[in-house]
Structure 1
Amino acid sequence: MTRQGGCLCGAVRFETEGEPLNVRICHCRNCQKAMGSPFFARALFDQRALKVAGETAQYPSSEALERVFCKKCGTRMFSRRTNSTVVGVALAVFDDRNAFQPTEHIWLSEKMDWVRIDDGLKQYKESVPQ
Structure 2
Amino acid sequence: MIREGGCLCGAVRLKVEGEPLNVRVCHCRNCQKAMGSPFFARALFPQSALKVEGETAHYPSSAALERVFCKRCGTRLFARRTNGTAAGVALAVFDDRNAFAPTEHIWVSEKMDWVQIDDGLKQYQESVPQ
Q: Displacement of 1:51 after TM fit?
A: 0.3
Q: Which amino acid aligns with 2:59?
A: Y
Distance in 2 of aligned mates of 1:122 and 1:95? 27
Distance 2:50 2:80 in 1: 11
Q: TM-score, normalised by structure 1?
A: 1.00
The aligned length equals: 130
Structure 1 residue runs of 5 or longer lacking an equivalent are none
1:89 aligns to what? 89
Q: CA deviation at 1:111?
A: 0.3
Unaligned runs of 5+ in 2: none
CA shift at 1:81, angstroms?
0.1
1:101 is displaced (CA, Å) by: 0.4
The alignment-based identity, stated in percent, is 84
**What RMSD, in angstroms, separates the aligned Cα atoms of the two structures?**
0.2
Tell me which residue corresponds to 1:121. Answer: 121
Written as runs of structure 1 = structure 2, the 5 A alignment for 1:5-84 is 5-84=5-84
* CA deviation profile, 1:68-106 (whole Å, cap 9, x unmatched): 000000000010000000000000000000000000000
Find the aligned partners of 1:74 and 1:80 in 2 and give their Cα distance.
16
Distance 1:83 1:126 in 2: 21
- 1:60 CA displacement: 0.2
- The Cα shift of 1:127 comes to 0.2
Moved over 2 A (4+): none
